[in-house]
Amino acid sequence: MDCGSCAAKIEHVVSALDDVETVRVDLALARMKVELRDDGDATRLAGAVRALGFTVAELGEGATRHAPAPQKPIWQDPRLAAVGIGVVAMVLGAITQSVPLYVVAIALGGFYVFRNALSSARHLHLDINVLMTIAVLGAMVIGEWFEAATVVVLFAFAEWLEGASMTRARRAIRDLMELAPPMARVLRGGAEVELGADDVVIDDVVVVRPGERVPLDGLVRAGESDVDQSPLTGESVPVHKAVGDEVFAGTVNTVGTLEVRVTKPASDSTIAHVLRAIEQAQENRSESERFIERFARWYTPAVVAIAVGIAVLPPLLGGGDWHEWFYRALVMLVIACPCALVIATPITTVSALAGAARDGLLIKGGRYLEELGAIRALVFDKTGTLTEGLLSVHEVVGSAAWTADDVLEVAAFAEQQSEHYIARAIVRETVHREISPPAHRMRRVEAHPGAGVEAHIDLCVKAPMIAGIGRIKIAHQHDHNCDHDHDLDEHASHAHEEARILVGTRTLLERFQIDFTGLDDEWHRLESHGSTVVGVTRDDELIGIIECRDTVRATARDTLEALRSMGIAEIHLCTGDNAIAAASLADSVGLDPNHVHAGLFPEDKVAILETLRAKFGHVAMVGDGINDAPALAAASVGIAMGAAGTDVALETAHVALMEDRLERVPSAIRLGRSTVRIIRQNVILALGIKAVVFGLATAGVATLWMAIAADMGTSLLVIANGLRSGRRA
């Protein structure tokens, strides 16, 4: 599928079939997505598309892993051969002034054009091929053989060129689709078996030898190696992976053999998410793309109407020369071809999106590319975005009878399922201090996004009486294994009690009306370090506080500086963390203290974005997807960092930086700006040249060959210009 007109034609024909409920043809991926009626027949559908001269391969339902059938290299395209011979015949014809040679040129060069025109005409679809055919027939009728041959040959060449450049722009996307290997070597019952990646289940262990691609997302269980993640994230240097590290489907294992415990089914791997996002990108067309589509819809019929008018009216009214005006009308038909105009935006967008994807920058559609180019204000999340997100516990203070270790143990128990950086820091610290986990049972945990966690646990009252304290603590009891689910007698023989544990910000604890008296001074002391401080409560009693420290990203200051120098008007910081931590970070990265907002819940971040959008129109939010997904969605464009690790970020963000690098934010904006600029140049170029030729044609100066040469020249320029946007950002 080469051009906008092919896509339109397929859509026109397929949507008219009885079998079809809905159809969407995707030019960029050369795919169509069809919803069949209940009694719909896919074979009949494929037949209808084949009858139009296309090849069809069925990919099945929701197929993301299958690449479209690989295309032959463009040099082997029979159309190129036809056009090539056509050009030679035309040139020889021009030299010898021989009509038979012109006929050969027209027949060969025009073969595919005429064939397309015929099938379009049969379906009453007035497209470019039909117009060109009429122009060529008309030129032959009035004996303008040279002109007829030029029109046909140049038009066919322009079409081929469009197809070839579309293929080129698609290649990056196709490469992505072929990233994840279809087969995996799985350890089952001690032996290695080859399985289709779709048949591998969670907790299977796959073996990846050096030089092989990782087939599924998982955690390294044994072995050590360097993994080249560049196909997915754009990182140029291979990343060292050892036991416990995460590896992604589609990345390349370089030196050692790895055993990987699969954590996600193939359909849920990071690369599958990326592919789905790319597929959906077509639905998020940019404003300019939609404008051109609307424009092209009336442009062609309008110019055709003018052509008819020119052919008929002047001779009838003013007694003009029939031959003369008929010729001018033919020129109009050529001008009616919106080729360069129609391809100007998609070729630019597709090549920008594909180039960006190759670079680990996933942009979900031209719309967001255009938004990136228009951004006037930015909002940054703090933890995990401007900071590394590698928190570590710095100090723990217990109240009264609670030791630091007790506090950590209680907190870790509540946090064990949380993905938050603080949770990981706390759990890591207990491992470090060799505090073993208690044998209690979790009843339910509730996350309070941007604030903390609330855990309800079952306490076994039989054993854990700790001497001296005189109350039940959560402590591990190695001798007491209470299996609450199965051992019902045991269960009944001793008392159970529910306890509620909170770990979180001061705001969260205040909501639960916790009394801070005993630890208030300590809390302020820890907070004054500019750290993140969380309180731990048990049954509404504050039992201790934990201070966590994070490191500012080394690149944060320079990145913000770069953004300011690009003319971004305001940069804000939004965080759920406390005001002192926020202010101290703002100070170290050089942010205006008036643009710092602390103590926010996720919905407060959304409110701030809305205010900024009202003021600036185009506002980006940069976050990591943890507690800021609503804000990412509420921004004109939500940019998620380190998306290779977090599915939420990948799903909700409009732009995902696969690699966890802040410096990519300015380059994404630069890419947006340059793409918008190129699209604008292309549209002006295409429209401008059309207008000039239109003027010349009405004045009777332009000839057929000028019109088609101008069109082809414009297509060439626009394509070359558009492909520029795919260069490395």
Which residues are marked as active site?
381
- Which residue from 31, 7, 8, 11 is spatially nearest to 20, judged by alpha carbons? 11
Residue 388, CA atoms < 13 Å, CB-side half-sphere: 11
- Which residue from 562, 543, 584, 595 is spatially nearest to 667, judged by alpha carbons? 562
**Which is closer to ligand ADP, CB of 420 or CB of 690?**
420
Work out whether strand 619-623 and strand 258-262 pair parallel, antiparallel, or are unpaired: unpaired
Asked if residue 421 lies in contact with residue 549, where contact means CB atoms within 8 angstroms, the answer is no
Residues in 593-622 that interact with Mg ion by CB under 5 A = none
Q: Which stretch binds Mg ion (CB under 5 A): 155-163, 304-312, 465-473, 624-632?
A: 624-632
Asked if residue 197 lies in contact with residue 283, where contact means CB atoms within 8 angstroms, the answer is no
Asked if residue 548 lies in contact with residue 577, where contact means CB atoms within 8 angstroms, the answer is no
Distance of CA 247 to the CA centre of its chain: 20
**Which is closer to ligand ADP, CB of 328 or CB of 605?**
605
253 forms bridges with which residues in the sheet?
227
CA 648 – CA 665 distance, rounded (Å): 19
Output the smallest distance, CB 588 to Mg ion, in A.
17
Q: Which residue is nearest to ligand ADP (CB)?
A: 576
Segment holding 691, helix H or strand E: helix 664-698
- Which residue from 546, 528, 535 is spatially nearest to 509, judged by alpha carbons? 535
Output the smallest distance, CB 636 to ligand ADP, in A.
20
The residue whose two tokens read 């691609």 is 213
Q: Which does 420 bind (CB under 5 to 8 A by kind): ligand ADP, Mg ion, none?
A: ligand ADP
Q: Which does 504 bind (CB under 5 to 8 A by kind): ligand ADP, Mg ion, none?
A: ligand ADP
Query: Which tokens hold the place of 342?
Result: 């129609």
**Which is closer to Mg ion, CB of 10 or CB of 639?**
639
Work out whether strand 441-448 and strand 205-208 pair parallel, antiparallel, or are unpaired: unpaired
Output the smallest distance, CB 335 to Mg ion, in A.
55
How big is the chain, counted in residues? 729
Query: Is 384 near Mg ion (CB under 5 A)?
Result: yes
Q: Which does 532 bind (CB under 5 to 8 A by kind): Mg ion, ligand ADP, none?
A: ligand ADP
CA 162 – CA 719 distance, rounded (Å): 8
Query: Is 464 near Mg ion (CB under 5 A)?
Result: no
Output the smallest distance, CB 494 to ligand ADP, in A.
31
**Sheet of 225-228, strands arranged across:** 239-241, 225-228, 252-253
Backbone φ and ψ for 521, nearest 5 degrees, come out as -65, -45
**Which is closer to ligand ADP, CB of 402 or CB of 705?**
402
Q: Which does 251 bind (CB under 5 to 8 A by kind): Mg ion, ligand ADP, none?
A: none
- Residue 103's SS3 state is helix
Alpha helices in 536-663 (DSSP H): 556-565, 579-589, 602-616, 629-634, 647-652
**Which is closer to ligand ADP, CB of 536 or CB of 712?**
536
Asked if residue 639 lies in contact with residue 653, where contact means CB atoms within 8 angstroms, the answer is yes
* DSSP code, position 561: H
**Which is closer to ligand ADP, CB of 382 or CB of 654?**
382
Q: Which does 279 bind (CB under 5 to 8 A by kind): Mg ion, ligand ADP, none?
A: none
**Which is closer to Mg ion, CB of 147 or CB of 381?**
381
Q: Which does 418 bind (CB under 5 to 8 A by kind): Mg ion, ligand ADP, none?
A: ligand ADP
Q: Which does 360 bind (CB under 5 to 8 A by kind): ligand ADP, Mg ion, none?
A: none
The residue whose two tokens read 């002047």 is 314
Q: Which does 503 bind (CB under 5 to 8 A by kind): Mg ion, ligand ADP, none?
A: ligand ADP
Q: Which does 575 bind (CB under 5 to 8 A by kind): ligand ADP, Mg ion, none?
A: ligand ADP
**Which is closer to ligand ADP, CB of 420 or CB of 673?**
420
CA 682 – CA 290 distance, rounded (Å): 15
Dihedral (Cα; 560, 565, 567, 573), 10-degree rounding: 10
Q: Name the CA radius of gyration of the chain, rounded.
A: 33
Output the smallest distance, CB 245 to ligand ADP, in A.
23
Alpha helices in 30-126 (DSSP H): 42-51, 78-96, 99-122
Q: Which does 144 bind (CB under 5 to 8 A by kind): Mg ion, ligand ADP, none?
A: none
**Which is closer to ligand ADP, CB of 381 or CB of 660?**
381
CA 634 – CA 296 distance, rounded (Å): 32
The residue whose two tokens read 């500086």 is 561
**Which is closer to ligand ADP, CB of 219 or CB of 445?**
445
Q: Which does 338 bind (CB under 5 to 8 A by kind): ligand ADP, Mg ion, none?
A: none
Query: Is 383 near Mg ion (CB under 5 A)?
Result: yes
**Which is closer to Mg ion, CB of 366 or CB of 384?**
384
Output the smallest distance, CB 449 to ligand ADP, in A.
7
CA 461 – CA 311 distance, rounded (Å): 99
Q: Using CB under 6 A, list all residues that contact ligand ADP.
A: 381-384, 415, 418, 420, 422-423, 450-453, 503-505, 532, 534, 575-577, 626-627
Segment holding 137, helix H or strand E: helix 128-141
**E strand intervals along 142-255:** 183-188, 191-196, 205-208, 218-223, 225-228, 239-241, 246-247, 252-253
Output the smallest distance, CB 625 to ligand ADP, in A.
10
* Backbone angle region of 193, left / alpha / beta, with phi > 0 → left and psi within -120 to 50 → alpha: beta
* DSSP code, position 514: -
Output the smallest distance, CB 382 to ligand ADP, in A.
3
Output the smallest distance, CB 381 to Mg ion, in A.
4
* DSSP code, position 384: I
Q: Which does 429 bind (CB under 5 to 8 A by kind): Mg ion, ligand ADP, none?
A: none
- Which residue from 378, 389, 377 is spatially nearest to 577, judged by alpha carbons? 389
> Considering CB under 5 A, how many residues would be counted as binding Mg ion?
5
CA 458 – CA 577 distance, rounded (Å): 30
Query: Is 660 near Mg ion (CB under 5 A)?
Result: no
Backbone φ and ψ for 551, nearest 5 degrees, come out as -110, 140
**Which is closer to ligand ADP, CB of 251 or CB of 627?**
627
Output the smallest distance, CB 559 to Mg ion, in A.
16
Query: Is 381 near Mg ion (CB under 5 A)?
Result: yes
Burial 119-131 (b: 16+ CB within 10 A, else e): bbeeeebbbbbbb
**Which is closer to ligand ADP, CB of 507 or CB of 667?**
507
Output the smallest distance, CB 384 to ligand ADP, in A.
6
Asked if residue 536 lies in contact with residue 407, where contact means CB atoms within 8 angstroms, the answer is yes
- End-to-end C-alpha distance for the chain, whole angstroms: 28
Site for Mg ion, rule CB under 5 A: 381, 383-384, 624, 626
